[in-house]
Amino acid sequence: MNANAETDPVLLTGARLGVLIGEGVFARVYEGWLDSGERVAVKVLRSKEYAVERRFLREIQVSRALPKSRHVVGYRSHGRTADGRPWLAMEYVDGFTLGAAINPGEPVGEERACRLMLQICQSFGGLHRLGIAHRDIKPENIMIAEGGRVVKLLDFGLVSDAQGLLRLFEQERILPGNEFADDIDHGVLAGTPEYMAPEQISDAHVGDPAEHRLDTTGDVFSLGVLFYQLLSGHTPYPFVLVEGDESSHKAQLMAYFDHRLAATDRALPEIDGVKPALWSVLVKALRSDPKLRQGDSSALYDDIARYFTSGEGIGDDVDFSSTLATDLKVVEHLLVEHARAVQLQAPRRLPPPRPAPEQSGLKMALLGVGVAVSVWLLVLLAGLF
C-alpha cells in the first residue's frame, strides 16, 4: 500500500489501494486495483453520519443501475471496509475536469461549446430516463478524457429519485436493498449555488416531499447555466463569497438565494455575440418555470443539435410541455442486474432511519464530490450543528 494511503488505513476485500488522489469532508478517493488487475478509482466513506452514509449507498445503487455509457464514469465494484465503511470502485479516468479546462472570463467559442454540451447532455441520458435528478451539475463533476475527445459524468452523491422509480424497483425487488426508502433530504439544500434551479432552492422550505418540484428539468436548468458559462466565460448569476465569519457567510448565502428566487426570466443577462437562434435554446433551458424548460437532457440535446446542424432555434409556437418516459432498455438492464444479485446474495435491508431531533430553521448542505478533487461545503443555518 502506498504511504499516502496509510494516512487512512483501509482493508478492502476485492481491491487494493494505492495513492490518495482526492479527499473531502466525507470521503476519500484512492487510485486502486481490483483483484482482476484493473486499475480503478476507489471512493471510501470517512463519515459515519447516517444521512451521509445513505447518500453514499444511493450513489452506489445509481452507479450500478445505470446502463454502460461512454459518457459516464462506470461502476466496477463495491463493498465495506474492515471497520464497516462502504466503498465504491469506479472506472479510472485519465483526464481532467471541465473546471480545469475553462478559464474565468474566457468564452470557449460557439462551436466548442455546442460540441461539449451535446456530449454532456448524452451523459445524462441514463439518469433522466430513470427520472433521476443529478442535482450537482458543475464543471468539476464533468471529466474530459481520451485526449480531450470524450466527456464523462461523475459523482452521483446528491441524486434525487424524483419520480420514485428506484424506490418502486426496490419495493418490487427489481433492485436489491432499500436505499431510497426514506427521506433524508428534508430541510436540506443540496447543490452548488450558482448552478441550482430556483425550485432546487425553494423545495427546502416545503415539508411534504410529494410537493417538491425538482425533477430532471432542474438538471436542465443547471445544464443551461453550464452552457451559458461556456458561451460567456461566467455563470448568469455569479456568487462570490466575501471573507467574514460564519454568520456573515450565512447571511451572504441567504441574500444570494433570495435574489435568485426573485429573479425573473427577463433578468437573464444577454451574451454579446450569441445568435438569436442559439439564445432561444439557452433561454428555454434557463426559464424560471420548470414546465417551460426542455423536459430532460435528451430534449436539450435535440434543441442544441438542431441549431448546430441547421442554425434553427426555438420558435414561439413550440409546445414547451414535455413528459418523461422510462426507457425499456433501462428496465431490462435493471432486471438483469437483479437476477445477478439474487444469485450472489439475498437482498439486504438496512435498519430503519434514526429519528431526527426536533430542530428549528433550515439546514443547508451544499455538497460536491469529484474523483480527482473532493470538496464538501456544509453550511448550517439557525445555529444548527
Pairing label, strands 188-189, 374-380? unpaired
For 318, how many CA atoms within 13 A lie in the half-sphere containing its CB? Answer: 16
- How buried is residue 278: exposed, middle or buried, by Cβ count under 10 Å (0-12/13-18/19+)? buried
C-alpha to C-alpha distance for 364 and 125, rounded to whole angstroms: 28
Q: Which amino acid is at 293?
A: R
Tell me which H or E stretch contains 200. helix 198-202
Q: Residue 88 corresponds to which cell in the numbers above? A: 465504491
The residue written with cell numbers 448542505 in the block is: 365
Q: Residue 108 corresponds to which cell in the numbers above? A: 470557449
C-alpha to C-alpha distance for 23 and 3, rounded to whole angstroms: 16
Catalytic one of 136, 161, 185, 215: 136
The one-character DSSP state at 267 is G
C-alpha 366, offset from chain centre: 12
Tell me which H or E stretch contains 170. helix 165-171
CA-wise closest residue to 335 among 156, 180, 173, 161? 173
The residue written with cell numbers 449507498 in the block is: 57
Torsion angle of the four alpha carbons 19, 21, 22, 26, in this order, in degrees rounded to the nearest 10: -30
Kindly report the backbone phi and psi dihedral angles of residue 155, in degrees, each rounded to the nearest multiple of 5, phi listed first. 70, 100
In terms of phi and psi (left: phi > 0; alpha: psi -120 to 50; beta: otherwise), the region of 291 is: alpha
C-alpha to C-alpha distance for 320 and 272, rounded to whole angstroms: 26
Rg (CA), the chain: 21
136 has catalytic annotation: yes
For 159, how many CA atoms within 13 A lie in the half-sphere containing its CB? Answer: 32
Going through the chain in order, the beta strands assigned E by DSSP cover 15-23, 27-34, 39-45, 75-80, 86-91, 95-97, 142-145, 150-153, 188-189, 363-369, 374-380
Residues with a catalytic annotation lie at 136
